[in-house]
Amino acid sequence: MASSQARILADYRPSSFTINTTQLTFELDDHQTRVTNVMHIERVDKDAPYLTLDGEHLSLDAISINDKPLAEASFQKVDNGLQISISPELNQLTLTIVTTIDPVNNTALEGLYKSGGAFCTQCEAEGFRRITYYLDRPDVMSTFTTKVIANKTMYPYLLANGNKIDQGNIGADKHFVVWHDPFPKPCYLFALVAGDFDLVTDQYQTASGKHVTLEIFVDKGNASKAHHAMESLKHSMKWDENTFGLEYDLDIYMIVAVDFFNMGAMENKGLNIFNSKFVLADHESATDTDYFNIEAVIAHEYFHNWTGNRVTCRDWFQLSLKEGLTVFRDQQFSADMNSAAVTRIENVSHLRAMQFPEDESPMAHPIRPEKVVEMNNFYTMTVYEKGAEVIRMIHTLLGEEKFRLGMDLYFKRFDGMAVTCDDFVDAMADASGIDLTQFKYWYSQSGTPILRVNESFNNATGELTISVSQINEPSEQQSVKHHLHIPIRIELITDHNSSAHLLALKEETQTWRFDGFEKKPVVAFLSNFSAPVKVHFEQPDEELIAIMKQAEDDFNRWDAGQTLLTRYITRLVKDDSYSLPVDIVTTYKYLLDSTLDPALKAVALKLPSFDEVSVNLEQVDPQKVIAAIKTVEAFIAHNLENELLEIYLGFADIPYANKGKDIAQRSLKNTCLYYLSKLSNHQLLLSRQYNHSDNMTDTLASLNASAMHNTGVFDNLMSGFEAKWQDTPLVMDKWFSLQAVADREDIFHVLATMEQHELFTLNNPNRARALIGAFSHRNPKHFYQESGKGYQFLAKHIKTLNKINPQIASRLLTPLIQYKRFNEHHKNLMLNALKEIAAIDDLSRDLKEKLDAALN
C-alpha cells in the first residue's frame, strides 16, 4: 500500500548521501526486465548510519557493496524503499542493486513501460523509483551511463540520455548500445527508449559554431508528419540564443513520439519523450491549434534544457522554479512566432477558465506548495500557468533588459545546481537592484487577488484620480494574507490619444493622480493582463465600448468586450427576460468592418466560456448560466447575420495555406460558421464546408458546429469521418471528443455507445481524455445536468481508472472537487459522486489526497 504521508516544505533536509556516478544496464523483456544499477555513493553526513533508497513495485534480486553481497541483516525493506546500514568507516562505496520489473503490466505509465511496441520511460516526478532503488530526489545529481540490451529485430533503436559511446551484438539476435551523459542530473531526467521507428534527422549549428544532430523518432509510416516538429525545434534553438544567449550543450538532441503518455511531453536530458499529439501533424489530420501547440510544447521541452536541466529544483516544492519559468519562456516564444496579441489573449482566457477555479477549490495551493502527498497532483494550472504569470510580473517590474541581466546572473550562480524559487528571485533582485522582498509573497500565498478600482475626475482641475485596493481573501491554510506587490499597467484614453502607465501597488490601497485632461479620460485597466488578478471596476458600458474601439493594447480591447458580455450574461442569469442592449451589436459591426486582424475579430466574437463566466459568480446554477450564454449567442447570430455571412463567404473557398494570415482567416471564418449554424436558414453551410474542406481545421469546425447545432447532419458526417480516419489514432481522438461534446438529449446513450466502441480504451490516456475529459470539461450543458447523470458517468470511469492509471484518474477528478462554487442541488450531487469514489478499495494516493481535501 502506497504511503499517504504528507511531506512538508519546511522539513527539507539535504541528503545524507550523494550518488556521483550511476551505471545502469537494462536487459529488456516484456514482463521481466532486469535492471543492474551500479552507484558510486559518498556519505556527506558523517553521522548517518543508514542509506535509505526509494523503490516501488520492484522485485529485488541481488544487492552488494564493493562487490560483496550484503548479509540479510544489513538491509531491510521499508515502506516504499530499502534501508541499508553502512558501517561507520565506509564513506565511499560502490553499491550494486539488481531488480526485475514488469513493463507490460505497468499501466500507470510511470517508470519503464510499453507504449505500443516500444519500451519507454517516464520518471518525473518520482517514477525512477519504479525502475531501481535510488535516491529519487532532484537534489541528488549524478552522471549516468546506460547500457541497453534487447532483441535486434524488434528493437533496432536503443536510446538513452547523452552521447552514444559503444554498441555491438550479443549472440545471434540481441544487440546493445551504451550511452553516457556527461552532465550530472537528477534521476527524474533519466530516459530510455527501445523500439522500431521512422527516423527524421536534421542538423543545427549553434551561434558559437557547434554542430548538433537533431533526431525525431516516430511510429513507422509517420515520418512525413514530423516536419513541423523539426522546424519548431530549430526555431526554438535559435530563439533561445537570440533572446537569452542560451545554446544547446550536447552533440545530439533526440525526440521520441509515443502514443501512451500521461502528460504533454518530458524534457529528459538529450532525449525528450513526447505524447505523439505534440509531434505529429500534417494539414489533413491536424488543426491550426494542433500546429500551434506542437510548436509551443517542442519549445517548452527544449527550453527546459537550461531552465530545469542545467539548473534544476532542490525539491519538488520548487517545481514552479522550472515550470513557471519555462511556461513563461514558451509563451514569449509563441508570441514572437505567432500573433502576440492572440497568444496573450488565449493564455489569459485559459488561466481564467482553469486556474482561477483551482484557486477556489479544496486543492488550492500557492505556486510553491507547502504540503504534498502525491507529487503528481501538483503539476497544476497554478504551478505552471500562474507560475508563468508570476515570472511575467518580474519581467514587467524589471523591464526586458534587467530581466535578461537577472537570467544571466541566475545561470552564472547556479549552473549545475539544484536550487529554490528564492534563489531565482534573489538573482533577479541582485542583478536589477530592484527590491523583490514583498514580491516573494506571490510564491507563498494561494488564491486569486481581487483589485477594486475607483476613479474620479475633477472637471475644474482636469485631474483624474484612480484608487486601487487589493483584497487577498484568507483561506483555510492561510488565515492571514500579506499585501502583494502588484504591477498594474493602465492606459488612459482620450478622444485624441492614449497614454500608458505602469503602477506598482504595494499597500492595501493606493491612489494615483493624473492631470492635464480636458474631459474625463477612459481608463483601460490591467493592460496585457499585467497581473493574475480579478478586477472589480464598475465602468459604464459606454466606456467599455470605447476601450473595445480605441485602446492601443489589444488585450484591453478584447477584455473590455469580455467584461461587457459577462455583464449581459450575468444579468440574464438573474433575469431571463432581460432584453439585451443593441450596443454590442453596433460595436461588433464597427469592429468587423475595421482593418483589425481577423484573428482578433474572431477572439472578440467568442463568448466567455461556461467556466470563465461562472468563476465570477457565487452559488452557480449551471443550467441558468448555460442558457444565458446561449441567449447571447443567439442574439449575436440574429443581429449580425448579414455581416457574419458576408465574412464567411469571403473566406469560404480559399485553398489551404499554413501562413499566419490564412490561419487568422480560418479562425474568423469558422467563428462565423458557428454562429450562422445556429440559424435555421444556414444549415446547408455545415455539410457544404465539410465536403469542400481541404484541411482538418475546417473539417473539425464544421463537425463541431453541427455537434452543437444540428445533430442530424452531425451523425451523418461523423460516420464518414470515422470510416476515413479509423486507422489514425490522433484523429480518432478528435472523433471521440466530438461525440462527447455534442448537444443532444440522448448524450448518455451516445456516451454508452462510445464506451463500447472497439477503439475505445481507458488504458490510453489520450483516448480516455478524448471521451471522458472532453465530456466533463467541454460539454457543460450535459455534464452539469440537473439529474446528476454527468457526475455519475465521470465517477464511474474514475473508479475504473484508479487501478489502471491513478494519475489520469486524479486529473479527471478536477470538475467534481470544484463543487463549492455550485448551488446546493449540484453541490450535493457532486459530493455524492465524490463519496462514492472515496468508498472504493485500494484508493490510490493520488485520488486519496484530493478526496481527503474535498471531503474533510
Q: Which residue has the cell 469560404?
A: 652
Q: Can you tell me which of 125, 149, 150, 212 binds ligand TRP, judged by CB under 6 A?
A: 125
Is 262 a binding residue for ligand TRP by CB under 6 A? The answer is yes
List CB contacts of 214: < 8 A, sequence separation 6 or more. 201, 202, 203, 204, 230, 233, 234, 252, 253
Is 265 a binding residue for ligand TRP by CB under 6 A? The answer is yes
What's at 635, amino acid-wise? Answer: F
Residue 412 and residue 404 in contact, taking contact as beta carbons nearer than 8 Å: no
List CB contacts of 720: < 8 A, sequence separation 6 or more. none
Q: Can you tell me which of 54, 219, 288, 301 binds ligand TRP, judged by CB under 6 A?
A: 301
**What whole-number distance in Å separates Cα of residue 78 and Cα of residue 81?**
5
b (16+ CB within 10 A) / e for 464-484: bebebbbbbeebeebeebebb
Angle at 570 between CA 793 and CA 535, to 5 degrees: 100
b (16+ CB within 10 A) / e for 326-338: bbbbbbbbbeebb
Is 379 a binding residue for ligand TRP by CB under 6 A? The answer is yes
Considering CB distances under 5 to 8 angstroms, the limit depending on partner class, which of ligand TRP, Zn ion, none binds residue 306? none
Measured from the CB atom, the residue of 378 and 610 that comes closer to ligand TRP is 378
Quick one: which segment of 120-128, 198-206, 465-473, 538-546 binds ligand TRP (CB under 6 A)?
A: 120-128
Considering CB distances under 5 to 8 angstroms, the limit depending on partner class, which of Zn ion, ligand TRP, none binds residue 125? ligand TRP
Smallest separation (angstroms) from ligand TRP to the CB of 379: 5
What's at 769, amino acid-wise? Answer: R
585-644 residues near ligand TRP, rule: CB under 6 A:
none
Considering CB distances under 5 to 8 angstroms, the limit depending on partner class, which of ligand TRP, Zn ion, none binds residue 372? none
Measured from the CB atom, the residue of 132 and 376 that comes closer to ligand TRP is 376
Cα→Cα distances 191→133, 160, 179, 212, 724, Å: 16, 6, 11, 19, 36
Considering CB distances under 5 to 8 angstroms, the limit depending on partner class, which of Zn ion, ligand TRP, none binds residue 268? none
Q: Compute, in degrees rounded to 10, the torsion defined by CA atoms 792, 794, 795, 800.
A: 130
Smallest separation (angstroms) from Zn ion to the CB of 391: 13
Measured from the CB atom, the residue of 125 and 615 that comes closer to ligand TRP is 125
Is 323 a binding residue for ligand TRP by CB under 6 A? The answer is yes
Measured from the CB atom, the residue of 75 and 274 that comes closer to ligand TRP is 274
Considering CB distances under 5 to 8 angstroms, the limit depending on partner class, which of ligand TRP, Zn ion, none binds residue 849? none
Q: Can you tell me which of 54, 56, 124, 288 binds ligand TRP, judged by CB under 6 A?
A: 124
Residue 566 and residue 557 in contact, taking contact as beta carbons nearer than 8 Å: no
Phi-psi region of 491 (alpha: psi -120 to 50; beta: other; left: phi over 0): beta
30 phi and psi angles, rounded to 5 deg: -50, -50
Cα→Cα distances 64→51, 55, 716, Å: 13, 16, 65
**What whole-number distance in Å separates Cα of residue 59 and Cα of residue 33?**
11
The sign of the torsion formed by the CA atoms of 124, 129, 133, 138 equals positive
Measured from the CB atom, the residue of 300 and 821 that comes closer to ligand TRP is 300
Measured from the CB atom, the residue of 300 and 485 that comes closer to ligand TRP is 300
b (16+ CB within 10 A) / e for 701-725: bbbbbbbbbbbebbeebbeebbeeb
Smallest separation (angstroms) from Zn ion to the CB of 769: 18
How distant is the alpha carbon of residue 465 from its chain centre? 39
* Cis-peptide into 125, omega within 30 deg: yes
Q: Can you tell me which of 115, 122, 470, 776 binds ligand TRP, judged by CB under 6 A?
A: 122
The sign of the torsion formed by the CA atoms of 578, 345, 695, 264 equals negative
Is 295 a binding residue for ligand TRP by CB under 6 A? The answer is no
Smallest separation (angstroms) from ligand TRP to the CB of 852: 21
* Catalytic one of 267, 301, 389, 612: 301
Closest CA to 675 of 628, 625, 703, 709: 709
Relative orientation angle of helices 583-593 and 541-550, to the nearest 10 degrees: 0
Measured from the CB atom, the residue of 144 and 783 that comes closer to ligand TRP is 144
**What whole-number distance in Å separates Cα of residue 427 and Cα of residue 425?**
5
Size of the site for Zn ion (CB under 5 A): 2
Quick one: which segment of 118-126, 636-644, 709-717, 767-775 binds ligand TRP (CB under 6 A)?
A: 118-126
The sign of the torsion formed by the CA atoms of 174, 179, 185, 191 equals negative
Considering CB distances under 5 to 8 angstroms, the limit depending on partner class, which of ligand TRP, Zn ion, none binds residue 708? none
Site string for ligand TRP, 326-355 (x = CB under 6 A): ------------------------------
Smallest separation (angstroms) from ligand TRP to the CB of 109: 8
Is 266 a binding residue for ligand TRP by CB under 6 A? The answer is yes
Smallest separation (angstroms) from ligand TRP to the CB of 769: 14
Residue 350 and residue 389 in contact, taking contact as beta carbons nearer than 8 Å: no
Size of the site for ligand TRP (CB under 6 A): 14
Is residue 56 flagged as an active site residue? no
Measured from the CB atom, the residue of 57 and 789 that comes closer to ligand TRP is 57
Measured from the CB atom, the residue of 263 and 592 that comes closer to Zn ion is 263
Smallest separation (angstroms) from ligand TRP to the CB of 801: 15
**What whole-number distance in Å separates Cα of residue 631 and Cα of residue 653?**
30
- The HSE-up count of residue 714 (CA atoms within 13 Å, CB side) is 22
313-332 residues near Zn ion, rule: CB under 5 A:
323, 326
The residue number whose beta carbon is nearest to ligand TRP equals 263
Considering CB distances under 5 to 8 angstroms, the limit depending on partner class, which of ligand TRP, Zn ion, none binds residue 263? ligand TRP
**Long-range pairs, 826-833, Cβ under 8 A, ≥24:** 826/620, 826/621, 826/622, 826/784, 826/788, 829/788, 829/791, 830/791, 831/855, 832/788, 832/791, 833/788, 833/791, 833/792, 833/794, 833/795
Considering CB distances under 5 to 8 angstroms, the limit depending on partner class, which of ligand TRP, Zn ion, none binds residue 376? ligand TRP
Q: Can you tell me which of 54, 136, 219, 267 binds ligand TRP, judged by CB under 6 A?
A: 267
Smallest separation (angstroms) from ligand TRP to the CB of 216: 17
Quick one: which segment of 80-88, 176-184, 261-269, 539-547 binds ligand TRP (CB under 6 A)?
A: 261-269
Q: Can you tell me which of 28, 39, 263, 565 binds ligand TRP, judged by CB under 6 A?
A: 263
Measured from the CB atom, the residue of 309 and 704 that comes closer to ligand TRP is 309
Smallest separation (angstroms) from Zn ion to the CB of 388: 10
Annotated active-site positions, please?
Answer: 301
Instruction: List residues near ligand TRP by CB under 6 A.
Output: 122, 124-125, 262-267, 300-301, 323, 376, 379
Instruction: List residues near Zn ion by CB under 5 A.
Output: 323, 326
